[in-house]
Amino acid sequence: MDNLLVVIILEQAFGIIALICTVVSMQVKKKRPLMLLQTASEAFVVAQYLVKGAITGSLMATNSFIRDVIFTKYGKKRAPFWILIVLYIVMTILTIVSWAGPLSLLPYVGSLIYTWTLWYGEVKWIRFGNALGNSPYLIYTLLTGNYALFIMTLFEVISAIIGFIRLDVLGKNKKAPRSTKRSA
């Protein structure tokens, strides 16, 4: 098989697996499985960028992978504030190093938003932050002509919105069924 064909197949396979992990993560109720799926998704995104030879993309995705590992480690507790600041500094440095004009601000702002919601730690805000933080990525992918990534990010945003509405808005309105047993 031609090497270029292998690269294309691996690249697409890693992207599809990353998308599946992210879409499913936005539909789970608890933080730990959500974070594990997000971490797995980022690992596949790193692999996808490395196979493609996109070093800047792989660096940004590696930062997101490390961020997700850190926030998964803290579980139900909120990570110390200094960790959020360090992640912001690293994202700022990576954005400066990979600067390609004002468009570079879109993924940077999206990453800042989503990182804050992960640090904050409540699942409903993680879902909301995923939708809000990926919105600048939607614009960025359109303007840079990366239509495949636009479609993948759109699925992610839609899944986050559906999860937020289904689990956090409508799910709160459902009352637990009352027990029909009488206490003796």
Q: Is residue 11 part of a domain?
A: yes
Q: Is residue 116 part of a domain?
A: yes
Q: Is residue 157 part of a domain?
A: yes
Predicted TM-score (pTM) of this structure: 0.81
Burial of residue 84 (CB within 10 Å: 0-12, 13-18, 19+) is buried
Total of domains in the chain: 1
Structure letter (DSSP) for residue 104: G
Is the model more confident about 129 or about 184? 129
Tens digits of residue pLDDT in 59-86: 888 999 999 999 999 988 899 999 999 9
Is the model more confident about 88 or about 75? 88
Q: Is residue 178 part of a domain?
A: no
- Tell which phi-psi region holds residue 145, choosing left (phi > 0), alpha (psi between -120 and 50) or beta: left
Q: Region 77-99: what's the mean pLDDT?
A: 93
Q: For residue 165, what are the domain limits?
A: 3-170
151 touches 17 (CB < 8 A): no
Rounded to whole angstroms, the Cα distance separating 183 from 130 reads 45
